[in-house]
Structure 1
Amino acid sequence: MSIDAKIIIAYTHLGTTAEFLRRIMAENVLKVVACVSSGEKVLSLVRKYKPDFLVLDSALTGVCGLDILRQISAQIEDRPFIIMYCEKQNDIYWQLAYRYSADLILEKPADPAGLIEKIYTYLTSKQAPICIDDCDFTSRCLEVKVTKVLYTLGLPPNFKGFHYLRHALILVAQDSEKLFSVTKILYSQIAEQFGVSNRSVEHSIQTAIQSIWNSCNFENLKEALGFTINTNQSPTNVEFISLLSDAIRLNMI
C-alpha cells in the first residue's frame, strides 16, 4: 500500500527512535518532513510544513507535550492528526491530552510498525463511507474513539464502571447482536474478562451512566449522540449503550 502523507516527529531520543521511525516510514512512502527533540520548535514546524500527522513526545525539552497541544489547538486551524507518546498510562494526563485535541495516545517505547499500521488505519477510514461495516473497525481505533467520548461526557477514568462501559460500547459497536442478549452474552463476556460477576458489571455500568447523567453537560451528550434526547429520565443500560454505540458506528462522533 502506497500513501503520500507528511509527518513531523517530535521525540526526545532523536538519534534512535526518531531515525528508526524515519527509515520505516520512508520504506512505506510516508514522508517525514522534520525530526526535532525540542518542544519550542514544534509549532513553527507545523505551520511551515502543514503535516498530515504529528508524532509527539509528551516529555520534550523546552515546551512539554500538553503545552504544545494547547498551542496547536488554539493557533492552528487545519491541524494534523496528533499521536502522542507517554511514558506509561496516566488517566489524568491522558484525559487532559485528549481534551487538548490529541487524537491517539500510545505508551513508550514507540513501535514503528504499530505506528504505521495505525496511520494506515486512520487514512483508510477517512476514505470509508459514513456507515461502515463491523469488519472495518479495529479494536484499537474503537477503544480510542470510545475513550474520548466518555472523557467528553465527564466520566472519570478511575470510576469503576468506566472500563466496563467502555468495553461494552466497543463490543456492541463491533457486533450489535449482543444487545439482544445483554445478560447472557454482553455482561458475561465483560465479567469473564475482568473476573467479576454479571451483576457487578450491570450495576457498575448503571452507576457510570447515572454519573454521566447527573454531571454531564447535555449539549455535549447531544453532540455525542447526534440528536436531541429526553433529559428528564436517565436511560437504561441497554438504551444508553445502544444509542452511543450506534453514534460511533455511524461516525457521528
Structure 2
Amino acid sequence: MEKTIDILIVDDNKEFCQLLAEFFDENDDFNVVGMLYDGEQALEYLENNKKPDVLILDLIMPHLDGIGVLEELKSKELIDEMKIVALTAMGHDKIMKTVLELGVHYYIMKPFDLDKLTQRIKQLMEAESSAADNFTVQNAELEVENGNYKPLITKIIQELGIPAHIKGYRYVRQAVELVIKDMDLLGAVTKELYPQVAEKFDSTPSRVERAIRHAIDVVWQRGNQKALEKYFKNNINENVKPTNSQFIARIADTIMVNLKVS
C-alpha cells in the first residue's frame, strides 16, 4: 500500500476495540486514529476532527446505535468522506438493506476473521476501478452463499441512480431477485413476474409494471451516465430505452455472470 490507511474503531466492547487496534498496529498499512465506545462519541469526533479513511462501526451500541450514527452522518453530508465497515452480531435482511442504503460499504458478522477484514479494507481503499468492482462481487458472494442476492442488486440499482424513495426501487430489486432464482420468469413477465412482485408488496401487477417503467424513465433521464454506459451500452449507443423486462434481465444477467450463479 502506498498510503497508510487511517482507521477509527467505534464499538462499545472495549476489549474488542483493543484487540482490533493491536491487530492493525502490527500491520504497517494501517494506523488506528482512535477508539470510541458509543455513537454519540463517534458523531462528536467525526464532526470535529479529520475524517478517517475507514470507519469501523458497530451497529448495536448504547446512547446512539450504529444506524443512528449513519443517519446523522448522512444528514450532515459526512457519509461520503470515508469508507464505512459495519459490524454486527445479528444478521437480518432488513438491517443489511438499511445500512447499505445509508452508505455502508461492507457489512460483516461477528465473529469474523481479522485477516479477511484487512483484506476487504485494502480492497475498499484501492482505486475506484476494477478493484472496487471486484470488492463488490466478493462482498456479495458472502451473501449469495446464503441465497441472499439483495446486497449486490441494491448496489447496482443505487449505482444506476434509482431513487430509494420511489416504489419502482423496491419493485425492481424484488423482480431481479426473482429472475435470478427463476430465469423462466422473463418469459412470463406480465402473467407471473409482476403478480409475484405485487403479492410481496400488497400491490397490483399493473401498478408494479408502471412503477418499474417510471424507475427506468428516471434513470434514463437523470441517472448515473457512467453506470448506464456500463450496464446498458447497447441501448445507449442505439439511443433506445430498455423495456422493463430488458432492464430487469440485464441486471440479473450481470449478477449471474459475475457470481457464476448456477
5 Å-filtered alignment, 1:70-89, equals 70-77=71-78, 79-89=81-91
Identity of aligned residues (%): 16
Q: Give secondary structure in 2 for the equivalent of 1:51.
A: coil
Q: Give secondary structure in 2 for the equivalent of 1:66.
A: helix
User: How many residues end up aligned between the 2 structures?
Assistant: 205
Is residue 2:31 matched to residue 1:31?
yes
Partners of 1:213 and 1:111 in 2: CA distance: 43
The two structures have a TM-score, normalised by structure 2, of 0.63
Partners of 1:87 and 1:204 in 2: CA distance: 37
Letter of the aligned partner of 2:10 in structure 1?
A: A
Gaps of 5+ in 1: 166-189, 191-199, 249-253
Q: Give secondary structure in 2 for the equivalent of 1:34.
A: strand
- Which residue in 2 is equivalent to 1:234? 244
Is residue 2:122 matched to residue 1:123?
no
The two structures have a TM-score, normalised by structure 1, of 0.65
Do the aligned partners of 1:8 and 1:32 also contact (CA within 8 Å) in 2? yes
Q: Give secondary structure in 1 for the equivalent of 2:107.
A: strand
- Which residue in 1 is equivalent to 2:232? none
Q: Give secondary structure in 1 for the equivalent of 2:84.
A: strand
Do the aligned partners of 2:176 and 2:251 also contact (CA within 8 Å) in 1? no
Do the aligned partners of 1:161 and 1:201 also contact (CA within 8 Å) in 2? no
Do the aligned partners of 1:57 and 1:86 also contact (CA within 8 Å) in 2? yes
Partners of 1:118 and 1:164 in 2: CA distance: 29
- Which residue in 2 is equivalent to 1:140? 138
How far 1:124 moved relative to its partner? 2.2
Do the aligned partners of 1:56 and 1:65 also contact (CA within 8 Å) in 2? yes
Do the aligned partners of 1:9 and 1:54 also contact (CA within 8 Å) in 2? yes
Gaps of 5+ in 2: 142-150, 159-163, 198-207, 230-235
Q: Give secondary structure in 2 for the equivalent of 1:63.
A: coil
Q: Deviations over 1:55-91 (max 9, x none)?
A: 0001011101111001111114452111101223211
The match for 1:162 among 165, 177, 181 is: 177
